[in-house]
Structure 1
Amino acid sequence: MPIYMTKKIPILYCILSLVLIYPIRAQESPSIDNNAVVLLDRMSDLIGQLSSCSFKLNASVDKLMPQVGPVKEYFNHQVHFVGPDKMHIQTRGANNHAYWYNGDILMYYSLTYNHYGFIDTHENIIETIDMVNADYGIDFPGADFFYPTFTDDLLANSDKVAYMGLVNIDGVDCHHIVAVGPEQNVQLWLSNDTFTLPLRFVFLDKTEGHSLQYEGVFSDWMINPDLPDAIFDFVVPESAKRLSIVPKTKPN
């Protein structure tokens, strides 16, 4: 099943949509570049129809620290998805940790501190990511690109979206897209091939009084790999300590 459970659309309908729907939406504002919208929708449609995928994401995140301001933290993520309800993420950074999700619970384990916990979840990946982010403040690497509303959300938060043309990065041709809004600036680099997958991104958050940057580089994309169910189950080490993962705000 697709990762975010979209209904599969006939190819002919997709072609007609490219001709009829995208230009109409793009023409609503002269500051929205139709070429950028077509590429973004193509990327989102393909990701939404994947039954599974794997990728690596090397990321840096600006964290606002008292007295010194923004400080960069670096992470290496290995991500595996099987739609609609399986996810496994391994993260290397200041705290080496991992998540396992199998449709019922999200398991967390810190390799650095040898402790674990779990959260009762929803029955699909996107709803689980939404709930865990809202209630517990946990971010998942590259999750923005897996939302079916990615293009519309970007347009809604941007005053200008521009297609900057093809650029070559490390020998790979990429489509470069820039979106500028009052609260965020976004740069995206998408592969110039059949799949139009995201290769790089820079998100600049301007809401905290400082310009906080989240930057990532994707690699080793695998499209619809056959991933064994066992990688989505976690066996607690005997020496690990249980911790309680507490929501940011408790329900009334």
Structure 2
Amino acid sequence: MGKKILFLMGFVILTITANGQTQRIDSTAVFLLHRTGETLQDIKSCSFTAITTYDVPNEILGLIKHTINDKVSIKFPDKMKVTSSGDKGNRGLWYNGKKLNYYSFDNNTYGFTTAPGSVIETIDEVSKKYGIEFPGADFFYPSFLQDLLSEQGNLIFLGKTIVDGRECFHIAGSDKTKSFQFWIGNDELFLPVKLVIIYTSDKDKPQYEALYKDWTTNSDYPDSMFEFTTPPKATKVKLAPRENTK
């Protein structure tokens, strides 16, 4: 009841001037994203579908949009499975708390790397080292909201709207390199529904968009679900680190 009253009291926009720049922080936007973070830190497991589109520059045609469909299952603190289809091919990732397995359904090839002891640490390490992206990863970081506010940008609540048939709270913000928008479900869990990022510092201003749907929380997933079994005649390959990693 107290949290609902806090929200219904309305919002306050804080105007902060630092280094000659004005920062606008909306308390309702902060409250909503904080509730999203609370949910994702408290749940024991979850699954969702992420449909992402992203822009790739083309010298002749300009920005070309590509799409990936990811099905994600996570059992905290140390289990995850992701299967992907779309413009980057059909592939899967299995993390069992000790190693991360990668499999290409298109090429029947697989590889693996040792991994840290938690989902968040694994996402962080593998994305930096191998350039493997995990849909919706930012929302699961305990420091997500703090990191967002530390960029000294803006964060504003825009009201309610409908996305994919669901009523959502609409939040927008910006910092020195990008603008972004969040749509958070108007329900008890405050789960993410949609995310848009526009990289404004890039001359082409490419966009990244993700729609999150089919959320399930606190299901009792068996550990075997996150174990990878090598398919018949699959070829082992070495995962190649991305260039210029430190």
Instruction: Identify whether the pair has TM-score above 0.5, normalized to the shorter chain.
Output: yes
Output the amino acid matched with 1:194. E
1:54 aligns to what?
47
Task: Give the number of aligned pairs.
Answer: 234
For the structure 1 residues 170 and 87, does the alpha-carbon distance in structure 2 shift closer, same or farther, using more than 3 Å as the test?
closer
In the alignment, the residues of structure 2 paired with residue 112 and residue 207 of structure 1 have an alpha-carbon distance, to the nearest angstrom, of 36
TM-score (norm 2): 0.87
Tell whether 2:243 aligns with 1:244.
no
Greater percentage in strand? 2
Match among 29, 37, 43 for residue 36 of structure 1: 29
Output the amino acid matched with 2:177. E
TM-score (norm 1): 0.85
Which consecutive aligned stretches of 4+ in structure 1 deviate over 4 angstroms post-superposition?
A: 249-252
In the alignment, the residues of structure 1 paired with residue 244 and residue 51 of structure 2 have an alpha-carbon distance, to the nearest angstrom, of 33
2:20 aligns to what?
none
What are structure 2's unaligned runs of at least 5 residues?
A: 17-22
Tell whether 2:121 aligns with 1:96.
no
Report Cα offsets for 1:86-128 as digits up to 9, x if no partner.
0000001131000000011100001011111111111101111
1:8 aligns to what?
none
Over aligned residues, Cα RMSD in angstroms? 2.4
- Which structure 2 residues correspond to residues 1-252 of structure 1 after superposition, within 5 A? 27=14, 29=16, 31-94=24-87, 95-157=89-151, 159-249=153-243
Q: For 2:123, what is the secondary structure of its paired residue?
A: helix
For the structure 1 residues 135 and 192, does the alpha-carbon distance in structure 2 shift closer, same or farther, using more than 3 Å as the test?
same
2:19 aligns to what?
none
Checking the alignment, whether the CA contact within 8 Å between 2:128 and 2:245 is kept in structure 1 is no
Report Cα offsets for 1:6-40 as digits up to 9, x if no partner.
xxxxx99xx6xx79xxx99x747361000000000
In the alignment, the residues of structure 2 paired with residue 62 and residue 125 of structure 1 have an alpha-carbon distance, to the nearest angstrom, of 27
Report Cα offsets for 1:111-154 as digits up to 9, x if no partner.
01111111111110111111111111111111111111111122
Q: 1:249: Cα distance to partner?
A: 4.9
